[in-house]
Structure 1
Amino acid sequence: MMQYQGLDNKFSIKLPEGVSINLVPAGIVVRSCAYLYDFFIRALVFALIAAVLSFLGDAGQGLILIAYFVITWGYYIAFEAKSGTTPGKKKFNLKVVQDNGLPATLSNVIIRNLLRPADAFPFGYCLGIATMSFSKSYKRIGDWSAGTLVIYQEKKIESAINGDNISHEDAPNIELAIDEQQAVVEFLERSQKLSPARQEELANILSDALNAEGELATHKLKSMANFYLGQKI
């Protein structure tokens, strides 16, 4: 369940385990800045490709149209599916996530981007901006349909791991259900309030699944949590 927390524009998502995850939706202005940043990148790439292909005559004109299609539709899908961000969103510390705070899936990303023409109707993203203006979570039509949010990436997870050198490359080698993933995230968020001994005690409950005990089990759990959060530290 998502609850609005007032003037700071922060939402607190209540998970089944009683854990609260705070999300701060990105507003219209910062998202517009990120869009323009991405627009100039796409325009520059397309201009360079078009300049080269223009020397190929009629065949080049056809390839230019293909390049325009790929850049227009593939740019956002490729970047957001990989990390939840585009160069523009990364510049302004934004990220696309699911409504429950977990990383957006490929299907989420495809749906939200295929509906960009609807948001752009009749021109200049008028309908999308109007939709965002009447939503506390600033969701455009594509976000409502895909079940996604554009949020500010928070830095607090970095302090939660107490300086551990955890790599995002440590992807979990076991499959967990959504509620189990959320429990792992809760462990990371609460770990800064727990002694190392208590952290190891809790991590050892999953020692068989993690194939590790003690400090190594704690490290693996924190790494998994960062993976589910889409963090790269």
Structure 2
Amino acid sequence: MKTLQINTTQNVNINFTLASEVQRAGAFLIDNILKFAYLFFIYSVFTEATIEGWADDTWSAVALNALITLPVTFYSLYTEILMNGQTVGKKALSIKVVNIDGFKPSITDYIIRWFLRIVDFNLFFILVVYAYALGWDSYVGLILLLFLVGKCVGIVSVAISKKNQRIGDMSANTVVIYLKDTAKFSQTIMEEITDNYVPKYPNVIKLSDNDARIIKDTFTVASRTKDYKTLIKLRKKIEEVANIKAEEKSDIEFIDKVLKDYNYYTQNM
């Protein structure tokens, strides 16, 4: 498997194992099975005749159909936002989306990835629909070929790119990683806290395990070498990502408190 080494601005090297094209294709397949299962169930309950009966005219029927398919249309967007970079398929295959710098992607990043699925997986889709609408039955082979090629663009992009990225990933500055060392990964962010420990910053739960590991690795190096400029940058980044304001007298005390709070809340949730 390919790996991605991130060299942070604090000169801390972090290695991620990139999800392979097979893993991503597997997650894609699982997600699409769920989508088709949803559509099969919905249209088994609500037949075309039922929908037309509810709608006053053709346009109303079209609008109602569009409303019914919204959960499928926006599936990857809302699942990745709500499940911290994972869809059901990605979770099943132990892969997730992260920012190229190792941090949790922003909502804008997720939107860009979702929007560019039009190119990665639905290229030529409009042409296919248009061809069927015109009744080009004699060109069914060409129409099917266009459909399949359009669906394969994302997989081919993942296979040939250096960082296993599809076009949506390249535009959103994200990668998909394989969470192969979950136990070991968690151990790297563990902090010793007492039974009577009192947390201070509940917003630290906005951080992901990736964020916490980067913070701890950077903090360890910077505090040991007395790199105060790096500590200032790290404190500002934490305040920005977690939406909190440091109240401690020093950056070292604040970052140490954040790491302990993160461990407290993640262990007691």
Same fold? TM cut 0.5: yes
- When residues 91 and 189 of structure 1 are mapped into structure 2, their CA distance, relative to the original with a 3 A threshold, is farther
* Paired position in structure 1 for 2:32: 39
Contact 2:10 / 2:218 at 8 angstroms: preserved in 1? no
Mapped to 2, the partners of 1:34 and 1:106 lie a distance apart of: 21
User: What is the 5 A alignment of 1:63-78?
Assistant: 63-68=64-69, 70-78=70-78
Query: C-alpha offsets along residues 4-49 of structure 1, whole Å, 9 cap, x if unaligned?
Result: xxxx521111011111121111111111110111111111122222
SS of the residue corresponding to residue 5 of structure 2 reads strand
* Paired position in structure 1 for 2:246: 209
- When residues 12 and 189 of structure 1 are mapped into structure 2, their CA distance, relative to the original with a 3 A threshold, is farther
* Paired position in structure 1 for 2:258: 220
- When residues 47 and 112 of structure 1 are mapped into structure 2, their CA distance, relative to the original with a 3 A threshold, is same
Could you tell me which of 155, 158, 163 is aligned with 1:132? 158
* Paired position in structure 1 for 2:8: 15
User: What is the 5 A alignment of 1:1-233?
Assistant: 8-54=1-47, 56-58=50-52, 59=54, 61-62=61-62, 63-68=64-69, 70-82=70-82, 83-120=84-121, 121=123, 122-124=146-148, 125-153=151-179, 154-155=181-182, 156-162=184-190, 170-172=202-204, 184-186=215-217, 209=246, 218=256, 220-224=258-262
Mapped to 1, the partners of 2:217 and 2:106 lie a distance apart of: 21
Contact 1:25 / 1:150 at 8 angstroms: preserved in 2? yes
Mapped to 1, the partners of 2:112 and 2:264 lie a distance apart of: 25
SS of the residue corresponding to residue 6 of structure 2 reads strand
SS of the residue corresponding to residue 38 of structure 1 reads helix
Mapped to 1, the partners of 2:214 and 2:75 lie a distance apart of: 34
Mapped to 2, the partners of 1:51 and 1:80 lie a distance apart of: 28
Percentage of matched positions with identical amino acids: 26
Mapped to 2, the partners of 1:95 and 1:29 lie a distance apart of: 14
Mapped to 1, the partners of 2:114 and 2:91 lie a distance apart of: 17
Mapped to 2, the partners of 1:64 and 1:218 lie a distance apart of: 53
Mapped to 1, the partners of 2:105 and 2:81 lie a distance apart of: 7
Query: With structure 1 as the length reference, what TM-score do the two structures score?
Result: 0.70
Query: With structure 2 as the length reference, what TM-score do the two structures score?
Result: 0.61
SS of the residue corresponding to residue 80 of structure 2 reads helix
Q: What CA RMSD, in Å, does the superposition of the two structures yield over aligned residues? A: 4.1
Letter in 2 for 1:51: S
Query: C-alpha offsets along residues 141-177 of structure 1, whole Å, 9 cap, x if unaligned?
Result: 1111111111112423311244768x9x9423999xx
Contact 2:119 / 2:153 at 8 angstroms: preserved in 1? yes
Letter in 1 for 2:176: V
Runs ≥4 in structure 1, deviation > 6 angstroms? 180-183, 212-217
Contact 2:2 / 2:20 at 8 angstroms: preserved in 1? no
**Gap runs ≥5 in structure 1:** 1-7, 195-201
SS of the residue corresponding to residue 45 of structure 2 reads helix
Contact 1:9 / 1:24 at 8 angstroms: preserved in 2? yes
SS of the residue corresponding to residue 86 of structure 2 reads coil
- 82-91 vs 212-221, which deviates more? 212-221
SS of the residue corresponding to residue 37 of structure 1 reads helix
- When residues 101 and 43 of structure 1 are mapped into structure 2, their CA distance, relative to the original with a 3 A threshold, is same
Question: How big is the shift at 1:74?
Answer: 1.3
